[in-house]
Amino acid sequence: MKPCIRLKKISKRFGSVLANDDVNLTVYSGEIHSIVGGNGAGKTTLMNILYGLVKPDSGEIFINGEKTDIRSSKNAISKDIGMIHQDFLFIENMDAVDNIILGKEPLKMGIVDKKKAKKKIKNLSEKYHLSFDVDKNISELSMGERQRIEIVKVLYRNAKILILDEPTAVLTPQEVKELFNILRALKKGGSTIIFISHKLKEVLEISDRISIMRSGRMVKTLSAKDAELKDLAVKMIGGELPEIEEKHYQGDEKVLVSVDNLSLKSKDGKKILKDISFEIKSGEIFGIAGIEGNGQKELEECLTGNLIYDSGSITVECAILWDISSKYFKDNGVSRIPSNRNELGLISGFKLYENLILGYINDKPFSNFCLLNYNEINKECKKIVKDYDIEPPDIYQLTENLSGGNQQKVVIGREFSKEPLFLIAAHPTRGVDIKGSWFIHKKLRENREKGSAVLLISSDLEELFTLCDRIGVIYNGEIVDIVKPENITFDEIGVLMLSGLTSFR
CB of 18 to ligand ADP, least distance (A): 8
| DSSP codes, 241-281 | PPPP----------EEEEEEEEEEE-TTS-EEEEEEEEEEE
391-410 positions binding ligand ADP, by CB under 6 A? 404
Number of residues located near ligand ADP, criterion CB under 6 A: 14
As a whole number of angstroms, the distance between CA 174 and CA 498 comes to: 9
Nearer to another protein, 333 or 485 (CB): 333
> To 10 degrees, the CA torsion angle through 460, 462, 466, 467?
10
CB of 76 to another protein, least distance (A): 8
Single out the residue of 5, 10, 19, 454 in contact with ligand ADP (rule: CB under 6 A).
19
**Angle, alpha carbons 13-14-19 (nearest 5°):** 55
Residue 92 touches which member of Mg ion, another protein, ligand ADP, none, C-beta under 5-8 Å by kind: another protein
Of 405, 404, 23, which is closest to residue 221 (Cα–Cα)?
23
Measured at CB, which residue is nearest to Mg ion? 44
**Crossing angle of helices 143-156/114-127, nearest 10°?**
110
Residue 39 touches which member of ligand ADP, Mg ion, another protein, none, C-beta under 5-8 Å by kind: ligand ADP
As a whole number of angstroms, the distance between CA 494 and CA 472 comes to: 12
45-64 positions binding ligand ADP, by CB under 6 A? 45
Residues that bind another protein (CB under 8 A): 48, 51, 53-55, 72-74, 76-78, 83, 85, 89-94, 98-99, 101-105, 107, 110-112, 153, 304, 306, 325-327, 330, 338, 343-350, 354, 358-359, 361-362, 367, 370-372
Residues that bind Mg ion (CB under 5 A): 44, 86
Nearer to ligand ADP, 234 or 480 (CB): 234
420-439 positions binding ligand ADP, by CB under 6 A? 431
CB of 163 to ligand ADP, least distance (A): 12
Nearer to ligand ADP, 336 or 430 (CB): 430
As a whole number of angstroms, the distance between CA 44 and CA 23 comes to: 13
Residue 350 touches which member of another protein, ligand ADP, Mg ion, none, C-beta under 5-8 Å by kind: another protein
Q: Are 152 and 98 in contact (CB under 8 A)?
A: no
Per rule CB under 6 A, is residue 44 in the interface with ligand ADP? Answer: yes
As a whole number of angstroms, the distance between CA 405 and CA 435 comes to: 9
What single-letter amino acid sits at 146?
Answer: R
Nearer to ligand ADP, 45 or 332 (CB): 45
Nearer to ligand ADP, 41 or 280 (CB): 41
CB of 44 to ligand ADP, least distance (A): 3
Residue 228 touches which member of ligand ADP, Mg ion, another protein, none, C-beta under 5-8 Å by kind: none
Those residues with Cβ within 8 angstroms of residue 151's Cβ, 6 or more apart along the chain or in another chain: 84, 128, 130, 162, 182
Residue 475 touches which member of ligand ADP, another protein, Mg ion, none, C-beta under 5-8 Å by kind: none
Those residues with Cβ within 8 angstroms of residue 303's Cβ, 6 or more apart along the chain or in another chain: 259, 314, 329, 334, 336, 422, 424, 455
Those residues with Cβ within 8 angstroms of residue 302's Cβ, 6 or more apart along the chain or in another chain: 262, 264, 273, 309, 314
Task: Give the footprint of ligand ADP on this chain (CB under 6 A).
Answer: 14-15, 17, 19, 37, 39-45, 404, 431
